[in-house]
Structure 1
């Protein structure tokens, strides 16, 4: 854990913020590269990304506020702290997707193509984000005294509330590695995709499984529970796990819908080509 990257006089650069910025820059750069392969206007995409990132950041904080509504109602003085809080990633994604749906309809863009371009970029940015979480000491894991991969946080500069000198599951690193693997898979599928929207729904499906799995090992309480809690993780259901289950179902439904639509489009094009060929042959026959 290394919450402070560098101090230059009165200026402090936090590792989390730095890595998050690196992730955003890498994500934007990758999006622009993939956009070129899809013949998307880079300027339009750049403008869109600016607003999508802004909506995602605000949405993450709004989602976190409602997840911890009981706490903030009892402690209204803590509400301003949301300004410096990173919020909840799932909330940011949900708000960003809603914004994308509105934006592409307004500007008459193809949502499926945009989603395919953004999916690998989001996975890559999320990898850096989780590395930032590890550096800051947030999103920590449960106690893991018997685990060979357990880690202890000892840096006194952290202000996240992570338990010090206690072996914990390295949930930040676990999710970071899985996000990196997801990025590699998505990039491969992007190059081989059979239909538009395939990469987007695969991202939703993969990340939902990742988050559902990692939740069993999380030890922080700032995520909310439908029932149970961190004391009994395998007989509990957290809010992110419920969202993950819903997202998996939606991803499967969208996959089938997009695949069916693509197959129909191919069939329609083949039928039009066949009809055009038959029409041309009829014209030639009438000339004879």
Structure 2
């Protein structure tokens, strides 16, 4: 049977000459909810008032810029021919790994300037980062991007997915794997896992490192299903290479920080 399924409107609202896209709205929503979650934990941990709001003033624009630059760098063959598309972020093209790199660099500098522990700050924000990533993937859904290879409608219906997801995965006459959804669900499960770890007597920094491992494991396997991966050469998927490196680095840091006595402060102690 042939289906004719129109895509969902990518435009959330039009205000005169200004157009607001769902992609931006959803990413903004993820950032807001992540901030609220992190801010509550920061207050519980005795962090200075408004410290996260001050951080976000720098972290959000720098992360978006880095996410875009990362994406453009690995798609330079296209953007060098169409430079007018470089600023078209509403079309998609924000790489999570680029945003994460920008956020970590910003947080390290910010923590040093404010004379607070970067690792404590990272522990507080780790579940929120993952929550923002889980929500942000639905921006990819609205843009019909970050999907996997072709599948049948019967396959998607067999996953017991809502009709609106099945229909949105119908692109140019073909149904595709909703890999955006797989990553979103993996990230949401990770949020619950990290929130559980807050009740465990972890050492300082280990919650953030657990986040890196959790997200990277899921991203490594899900990335292998995607059809729009950023590539290194012709055979290496950038996200898989970076995910593997992050897993290795996070494990090394876990072991090194314990042996070197750099993570002696326990997560549940008052000083943490």
Which TM-score band (shorter chain)?
A: 0.7 to 0.9
Aligned to 1:111: 118
Query: Would you say 1:246 and 2:245 are equivalent positions?
Result: yes
Aligned-pair Cα RMSD in Å = 2.6
Q: Deviations over 1:145-195 (max 9, x none)?
A: 49723765569xxxxxx8323121110111110010011101111222421
2:221 aligned residue: 213
In structure 2, C-alpha distance between the alignment counterparts of 1:182 and 1:134, rounded to whole Å: 20
Structure 1 pair 9/117, CA: closer, same or farther in 2 (3 Å)? Answer: closer
Q: Is contact 1:140-1:171 (8 Å) kept?
A: yes
Which has the higher mean CA deviation after the structures are superposed, 239-248 or 10-19?
Answer: 10-19
Q: What is the TM-score of this pair, normalised by structure 2?
A: 0.82
**Displacement, 1:217?**
1.1
Q: Residue 74 of structure 2 contacts residue 231 of structure 2 at CA under 8 Å; is this kept in 1? A: yes
| Preserved contact between residue 154 and residue 164 of structure 1 (Cα < 8 Å) | no
Match of 2:28 in 1: 21
Per-residue CA shift, 1:60-102, capped at 9, x if unaligned?
A: 0111111112222233343333576442111110111111112
The yes-or-no answer on 1:167 pairing with 2:141 is no
1:177 partnered with 2:176: no
Over 6 Å off, 4+ runs: none
Structure with bigger gyration radius: 1
Distance 1:64-1:9 versus aligned 2 partners, 3 A rule: closer
Match for residue 48 of structure 2? 41
Residue 105 of structure 2 corresponds to: 98
How many residues align? The count is 251
Secondary structure of the structure 1 residue equivalent to 2:171: coil
1:141 matched to 2:148? The reply is yes
CA distance in 2, matches of 1:263, 1:45: 23
Q: Distance in 1 between matches of 2:25 and 2:265?
A: 45
More helix by share: 1
8 Å CA contact 1:61–1:88 kept in 2: the answer is yes
Give the TM-score normalised by the residue count of structure 1. 0.78
8 A Cα contact 2:79 2:86, kept in partner: yes
Aligned partners of 1:259 and 1:141: how far apart in 2? 39
3-state SS in 2 of match to 1:167: strand
2:254 corresponds in structure 1 to 255
Q: 1:47 to 1:86 in 2, by over 3 A?
A: farther
In structure 2, the partner of 1:232 is: none
Report SS of the residue matched to 1:20: helix
Distance 1:13 1:193, change over 3 A: farther
Given the alignment, which residue of 3, 8, 12 partners 1:2? 8
1:230-245 alignment runs, 5 A limit: 237-245=236-244
Unpaired segments of 5 or more residues in structure 1?
156-161, 229-236, 267-288
